[in-house]
Chain A
Amino acid sequence: MEQNTTSRIAVRVADIWKSYGGTPVLKGINIELLAGQVHALLGGNGAGKSTLMKTIAGLVDADQGTVEINEQLLGKASPSAAQALGLYLVPQEAHILPNQSVLENICLGLKAKPRALRAEAEALLRDLAVSLDLDAQAATLEIADRQIVEIMRGLIRKASVLILDEPTSALTPHEANALFDRVRQLRAQGVGIFFISHKLREIREICSVISVLRDGAIVLSGPLSEYDDNQIVEAMTKTVQSAQPVARAANDIDFGTRDVVLEIDRFSGEGFRDISFNVRAGEIVGLAGVVGAGRSELAETLFGLRPARGGNLNLLGTPLTKRSPRDCVDAGLVYLPEDRQQNGLFLEASLAWNMSGYTMHRLGFFPKRKDETSAFDAFRQSLGIKCEGEGQQAGRLSGGNQQKVLLAKCLAADPRVLILDEPTRGVDVAARNDIYRLIRELAAKGLGVVLISSDFDEIEQLADRVVVMAHGLQCGALEHDAVTVDAIAHLAFESGSHTDA
């Protein structure tokens, strides 16, 4: 793969310990990154990956231990000190300055002349094969574009050490490939890269070394070629588990005879037009497409968050004409939004409060704390939510557990139709498998599920039927065995290929 003739050490982490409120998160981590190496870092929920990377980037102050970047000690925990030593962390959730221009977002803090920076940014855009208006206000950017801005921040700083925290989670395969090309280029130039991802396929593609974290310690480390996928997943989860444990539903289930629970007929709104499909009881219908295809807009319109422009929506055979989120919830339609930080959770509030979000109006004027607690405990057990208790703040949970809390919130409303928007974005392999299993179980109980996902593997694994959207229009549907990654990608990208330039 790569030649490390010069095995200069880019990052050396020695015996890092860190605990939050008495709970140890990192327990004596030692890890080395060589220049010109792409080092994969995996780990489950709360394994300590993010904390470790934030420690290296100077965002978190370790209790004990040292971080050396390019053979110089990182004296105090400060991002600017780490950057001065040549390191940049591209975080998983893009940090955007909404009121500034895209260009300022990328270049802020750099000392070069504005004109030179603009030229560099434009060159980078060409390299990454993305089109982005540098003068647009950053608030107008979609999630995928925000992530591109973050990645560009890292690249334009010409860091000699990069940390990429799930960089592809909001990118289209096309953009992800361009990013990987760029990563290979950087690797050849001797840049050391920590690459965090939950997608083993990606890791195989560009990484040469792997470390797996579990419970704050490194449990597996070495050349990637020495481990197969099952060994890696096993190391992460401790229990023996197949990398793809969820079997597709049997193809012989004939949903045709079941009741139609959701019927959408020539539905139009902002960002999409003339969408028609049915969901039957117990059926998982995938809504596939690239980011920006109009799927979230469709879901938000169905759920009454945006105005519709025409078309009908029948829920359980009855037209749902007056739609507000509460009407939808009461009628049995519940939506799990894409961006859990922004639209899903009350980050400061307790888990129990979060969970009763959709059912608040049914709890009476004086909601009984006991009811909420017992309901939460039931979900905690059935969904396997790892937390300190119902009083814990939602913002303190890891991504996978936050997603489970949101799922509990949806289920608490006792829905008949569930719209899940990217339910496993930024969720690790183990939690993702949990969530897949839950979705299957819910469908088996007779719920109709609409699964919106840009991860075509996910659709292939879960969906009984898939509707593909591109540019706000329905461009195809697939059923049973025809639901394959290739077939979905074919529909989603061929229909959109005109605008990818």
Chain B
Amino acid sequence: MLDFFARNRVATLCAVTILAFLLIGAAAPGYLSLSTASVVMSNSLVLMSVALGTMLVILTRNIDVSSGSVLGLSAVVLGMMLNDGHSLGLAIAACLLTGAIAGLINGLLVTMLNVPSIIATLGTLGLFRGVMLIMTGGNWIEELPLSLKALADNGSVGFSVLTVIVIASLIVVGLFVRQTRFGRYFYAVGDNREAARHLGIPVKLVQIAAFVAAGVLASVAGMIFAAQIGFIPNQAGNGLELKAIAANVLGGVSLLGGSGTVPGIFVGVIFLTSIDSALVFLKIPAFWNDFIAGAVLLLVLLLDGRVRMAVDRAIRAKRYAVHHHNHSDQSAAPGSDVLPKTRIQEAGK
């Protein structure tokens, strides 16, 4: 049981999340309801999409801190095209293309010009935000058409088209990284790049693919953002990249690459998002959000790390104990023409 939780960050986080829900539910009756679930879900869509893309990059042992700017830039492309009278389909395509190109730039910087990913994406974080501001002339984009906002409507079924899109992305990415050969390469490249290269894995292509996917998913988040809010402020997506990284860490994605799962991302994002809604129910002022989110993040990680270490110690002790036990009957080293010879003292265990 303990063993299971130590090996499984997602399970730990699930347990903590459920416990937190129950506690909040007890403190604020009415919290545990379908409508809360629906609110949490739709509030989490933007972060979910960005975090999912960030995971792909982190798996390959890179980092992407430009995703907030990619979100803003692609949302602006979407908004400007719509306000220029283009069709929704064309505008969304342009939005996704923007994300893909932004990701491609990141990927090429990292693989072809050998810029460390943290530096490359710090650069493009500013660059993409700058392009966005130049395009808008510093103005907000408002009065987006109803056709876009309709995507965010919870119809009679209780969830929106956007929710479907994000859930579908989760499933597609989850299946891709686990079930396809190319998907496994993401783990291999992040786990040990030199080993992957030795095995003939297209290391650069995999990294570029991860950045492009992250760009596209950030632009999906941009679309969600625009549809949900109905306008695009200058700071759209600002700081979201760090929240996405936090969600990754919470969800058990190793920043050193090579390990992490999509269910982990899902739980991590839901956990972070539900803090906001819980505070409303607990009547705690909203300016406490960041403090509580940070504290909870540290708490979960510390607890998780402690438990893991304790269990590792226990397992190691067990292994060595077994080790000794198994071989405790081997004192009978054969006699040879040996001068002084110490025989093993048996500790009868």
Contacts and interface: CB of A to CB of B under 8 A. Distances in A.
Interface stretch (A199-207, A270-278, A402-410): A270-278
A480 B323 CA distance: 32
B327 A95 contact: no
A97 B196 CA distance: 8
A473 interface: yes
A44 interface: no
Interface in A78-128: 78-80, 82-84, 89, 91, 95-100, 104-105, 108-109, 111
Given A273-B324, A475-B333, A80 B339 contact: no
Interface stretch (A20-28, A169-177, A332-340, A487-495): A487-495
A97 B327 contact: no
Nearest to B190: A99
B86 interface: no
A91 B194 CA distance: 11
A495 B187 contact: no
A83 B201 CA distance: 10
B345 interface: yes
Interface in B291-343: 316-317, 320, 323-324, 326-327, 330-331, 333-334, 336-343
B327 A79 contact: no
Contacts of B316: 270
B59 to A, nearest CB: 10
A496 interface: yes
B200 A95 contact: no
Contacts of B342: 276, 474, 476-477
A96 to B, nearest CB: 6
B259 interface: yes
B331 to A, nearest CB: 8
A109 B202 CA distance: 10
Contacts of A105: 195
A471 interface: yes
A69 to B, nearest CB: 13
A97 B344 contact: no
Contact of A95 (B194, B258, B337): B194
A63 interface: no
B341 A99 contact: no
A109 B258 contact: no
B16 to A, nearest CB: 23
A499 interface: yes
Given A475-B344, A487-B338, A100 B198 contact: no
A192 interface: no
Contacts of B200: 78-80, 82-84, 109
A297 to B, nearest CB: 9
Contact of A96 (B184, B195, B343): B195
Given A471-B323, A494-B334, A97 B188 contact: yes
B153 to A, nearest CB: 42
Given A108-B184, A496-B330, A476 B338 contact: yes
Contacts of B195: 95-97, 105
Contacts of B343: 476
Interface string B170-200: 0000000000010011011001101111111
Nearest to A268: B347
B320 A95 contact: no
Interface in A308-367: none
Nearest to A480: B339
A87 to B, nearest CB: 10
A153 interface: yes
Contacts of A474: 342, 344
A80 B201 contact: yes
A495 B347 CA distance: 16
B264 to A, nearest CB: 14
A478 B339 contact: yes
A26 B196 CA distance: 26
Given A59-B197, A100-B191, A499-B327, A477 B341 contact: yes
Residue with the greatest number of chain B CB neighbours at <10 A, chosen from A83, A95, A470: A95
Contacts of A190: none
A59 B198 contact: yes
Nearest to A266: B345
A174 B183 CA distance: 38
B83 interface: no
A270 B324 CA distance: 10
SS of B interface (majority):
loop
B344 A479 contact: no
Contacts of A473: 324, 327, 330-331, 344
SS of A interface (majority):
mixed
Nearest to A470: B330
Nearest to A497: B330
Size class of the contact patch on chain B:
35 or more
Given A477-B341, A479-B339, A494-B334, A99 B323 contact: no
Interface string A10-40: 0000000000000000000000000000000
Residue with the greatest number of chain B CB neighbours at <10 A, chosen from A59, A98, A496: A98
Nearest to B184: A108
A149 B345 CA distance: 36
A472 interface: yes
A105 B199 CA distance: 10
Contacts of A482: 337-339
A479 B327 contact: no
B229 to A, nearest CB: 39
B254 interface: yes
A498 interface: yes
A470 B323 CA distance: 11
A480 B337 CA distance: 12
A37 B306 CA distance: 54
A96 B194 CA distance: 9
B188 A271 contact: no
Contact of A98 (B184, B192, B197, B320): B192
Interface in A443-501: 470-480, 482, 487, 490-491, 494-496, 498-499
A53 to B, nearest CB: 12
B30 to A, nearest CB: 43
A268 to B, nearest CB: 9
B198 to A, nearest CB: 5
Nearest to A94: B195
B330 A477 contact: no
B327 A98 contact: no
Interface string A131-150: 00000000000000000000
A495 B329 CA distance: 9
Contacts of A478: 338-339, 341
Given A79-B199, A495-B333, A111 B345 contact: no
A176 B325 CA distance: 28
Nearest to A274: B345
A96 B191 CA distance: 8
Nearest to A153: B199
A23 to B, nearest CB: 22
A110 B33 CA distance: 48
Given A98-B191, A470-B330, 5 more contacts: A97-B188, A109-B199, A271-B320, A471-B327, A472-B327
27 contacts: A59-B197, A79-B197, A80-B202, A95-B195, A97-B188, A97-B191, A97-B195, A97-B196, A99-B259, A108-B185, A108-B188, A109-B185, A111-B181, A270-B317, A271-B323, A274-B344, A274-B347, A470-B327, A472-B324, A474-B342, A474-B344, A475-B330, A475-B331, A479-B340, A490-B336, A495-B333, A498-B327
Interface of A: 59, 78-80, 82-84, 89, 91, 95-100, 104-105, 108-109, 111, 153, 270-271, 273-274, 276, 470-480, 482, 487, 490-491, 494-496, 498-499
